[in-house]
Amino acid sequence: MNTQLPRKNSFERSRIALLVASAALAFIWIPSAFAQSTDSEKFSVSLGIFVTSRDTQTRLDGEIPGDGTDVDVENDLGFDASDSVFRIDGYYRFNEKHRLDFSWFDLSRTASKTIQKDIEWDGEIYPIDTVIDAGLDLNIYKLAYTWSFMRREKGYLGASIGFYVADVGHSITAEEIGQSSSRGVTAPLPVVGIRGQYDFAEKWSLRGSAEIFAFDYGDFSGSLHDMYAGLDYQAFQNVAIGVGFNSVRFDLDVSKTNFLGNLDWRYDGGLLFFKFNF
pLDDT digits (tens, 9 = 90+) for 253-268: 999 888 999 999 899 9
Q: Which residue has the higher pLDDT, 35 or 79?
A: 79
Q: How far apart are CA 62 and CA 124, in angstroms?
A: 8
CB-based burial, 142-154: b 16+ in 10 Å, e otherwise:
bebebebebbbeb
Q: Classify residue 273: in a domain, yes or no.
A: yes
Q: Classify residue 230: in a domain, yes or no.
A: no
Q: Classify residue 2: in a domain, yes or no.
A: no
Q: Per-residue pLDDT for 42 more than 80?
A: yes
Q: Per-residue pLDDT for 114 more than 90?
A: yes
Domain count, the chain: 1
Q: Using 50, 70 and 90 to split pLDDT, how confident is the model at 218?
A: confident
Q: Classify residue 213: in a domain, yes or no.
A: yes
Which residues constitute the domain of residue 66? 8-218+235-247+256-277
Q: Using 50, 70 and 90 to split pLDDT, how confident is the model at 227?
A: very high
Q: Classify residue 66: in a domain, yes or no.
A: yes
The DSSP string of the chain is --SS---HHHHHHHHHHHHHHHHHHHHHHTTS-SSPP----SEEEEEEEEEEEEEEEEEE--SSTT-SPPEEHHHHS---SEEEEEEEEEEEESSSSEEEEEEEEE--EEEEEE-SS-EEETTEEE-TT-EEEEEEEEEEEEEEEEEEEEEETTEEEEEEEEEEEEEEEEEEEEGGGTEEEEEEEEEEEEEEEEEEEE--SSSEEEEEEEEEEEEEETTEEEEEEEEEEEEEE--SSSEEEEEEEEEEEEEEEEEETTEEEEEEEEEEEEEEEEEEE-
Q: Which of 259, 207, 267, 255 is nearest to 233 (CA)?
A: 207
Q: Label the pairing between strands 119-121 and 179-198.
A: unpaired
Amino acid occupying residue 205: S
pLDDT exceeding 90 applies to what percent of the chain? 71
Q: Classify residue 228: in a domain, yes or no.
A: no
CATH code at position 20: 2.40.160.20
Per-residue pLDDT of 116-156, as tens digits, reads 999 999 999 999 999 999 999 999 999 999 999 998 888 99
Q: How far apart are CA 15 and CA 153, in angstroms?
A: 30
Q: Which of 237, 206, 195, 230 is nearest to 32 (CA)?
A: 206
* pLDDT score recorded for residue 152: 87
Q: Per-residue pLDDT for 215 more than 70?
A: yes
CA dihedral 15, 21, 26, 28 (to 10 degrees): 170
Q: Classify residue 162: in a domain, yes or no.
A: yes
Q: Classify residue 226: in a domain, yes or no.
A: no
Q: Using 50, 70 and 90 to split pLDDT, how confident is the model at 25?
A: low
Amino acid occupying residue 147: W
Q: Are 269 and 244 in contact (CB under 8 A)?
A: no
